[in-house]
Amino acid sequence: MNSICDMLGIKYPIFQGAMAWVSNHAIAAAVSKAGGLGIIAAGNAPADWLREEIRACKKVTDKPFGVNVMLLSPHADEVAKVVAEEGVKVVTTGAGNPGKYMELWKSKGIKVIPVVPSVAIAKRMEKEGADAIVAEGCESGGHIGELTTMALIPQVVDAVSIPVIAAGGIADGRGFAAAMMLGAQAVQIGTRFLVAEECTVHEAYKEKVLKATDIDTVVTGRSTGHPVRVFKNQMTRTFMKLEKEGTDLNKLEELGAGGLYRAVIEGDVMNGSVMAGQIAGLVKKRQPAEEIIEELMKELKEITLQRTHYINENM
């Protein structure tokens, strides 16, 4: 147990990343049952969809799970109310400031944990009343900031007094141990859970992850102000060519519209947006969520014991 486990009532300090169109009740429930914190990603989905997902998750597990609210969603107000009405224990947020919902969520005893890319935003979220912070480095898949996890985590840890969860570039016990050494109290993992047996992402998407190398991802959208890490494919080549040519922002947005749905649901990994982190090259096998979590904890323990033994022998 540590501060995060104690705060949230979970066994292991492992969050499952919130991935739009991917993180539904199936994978969230599996992670929570295994002792981590499963998270349902609301994305741009309407409130009714989220309510059904929350209730479906409760039918599968009585363990705590969370919901990620994408604050730029046109449905954010309704989604925020559903989270409160359905008794969700934890909310993570992205793409905005959750301040307007803090009073509602706090009145229901909900723990609020924003995802942030920088020290300045982390400090602002602490002032707004956040219970903890997910500090996400640019190694992660999907929408990213500028700082790497190695640089970001210790600076955020030093800047705030609330617990910090490390995200971005973590897929095994080595990354887990490194994050804890940098001062994090937990880790958030997305890409590895893409190939969990309980994850309902299209088979072609899973194969893309399993066959990945260390240099297979690229960041698109830097010129738009909304950089996104995805696998290289025909769409990214077209997108980056148009970016280089200075194509109008609206045309770029049209090209990317619906890309994640095409990849996750339809399995179009050539013309869809196949989001994944730089760590994808380490992910080589399909496993149940429980096995992934147990393996992570076993590796963490072994590495910690090895380092402790080395220090005792050499200091």
* Chain segment 103-116, per-residue pLDDT in tens: 999 999 999 999 99
The pLDDT of residue 129: 92
Letter string b/e over residues 203-220, b meaning 16 or more CB atoms within 10 A of that residue's CB: ebbbebbeebeeebbeeb
Mean of all residue pLDDT scores within the chain: 92
Q: Which of 224, 213, 149 has its CA nearest to residue 181?
A: 149
Unique residue bearing structure tokens 């590895």: 192
The domain spans of the chain are 3-197
Residue 208 pLDDT greater than 90, yes or no: yes
**Cβ partners under 8 Å of residue 135, min gap 6:** 116, 117, 122, 149, 152, 153, 156, 164, 165, 166, 167, 184
What would the mean pLDDT of 219-229 be, rounded to a whole number? Answer: 85
What per-residue confidence (pLDDT) applies to 225? Answer: 77
CB atoms within 10 A of CB 120: 10
Residue 311 has pLDDT above 70, yes or no: no
Amino acid symbol at 9: G
Rounded Cα distance between 136 and 40, Å, is: 18
Report pLDDT for 99.
Answer: 87
The pLDDT value recorded for residue 96 is 83
- At residue 56, the 3 state secondary structure works out as helix
In this prediction, residue 224 has a pLDDT band, given cuts at 50, 70 and 90, of: confident
Strand order across the beta sheet in which 111-116 lies:
14-16, 186-189, 164-167, 133-136, 111-116, 90-94, 65-70, 38-41
Q: So what's the pLDDT on residue 111?
A: 96
Q: Which fold has domain 3-197?
A: TIM Barrel (3.20.20)
Read off the pLDDT band of 1 (50, 70, 90): low
d(CA 46, CA 49): 6
The rounded percent of the chain whose pLDDT value lies above 90 is 76
Local structure of residue 93 (DSSP, 8 states) = E
pLDDT in tens, 251-288: 777 777 788 889 999 999 999 999 999 999 999 999 99
- pLDDT given for residue 312 in this prediction: 66
* Cβ atoms 155, 119 nearer than 8 A: yes
Distance in angstroms (rounded) separating the CA atoms of residues 271 and 262? 8
Cβ atoms of 114 and 130 closer than 8 Å: yes
Counting residues of the chain whose pLDDT is more than 70, the rounded percentage is 97
Q: For residues 156 and 201, what is the distance between their CA atoms, to the nearest angstrom?
A: 32
Give residue 309's pLDDT band: very low, low, confident or very high (50, 70, 90).
low
pLDDT higher than 80, residue 308? no
Task: Give per-residue pLDDT as tens, 141-175.
Answer: 998 999 999 999 999 999 999 999 999 999 999 99
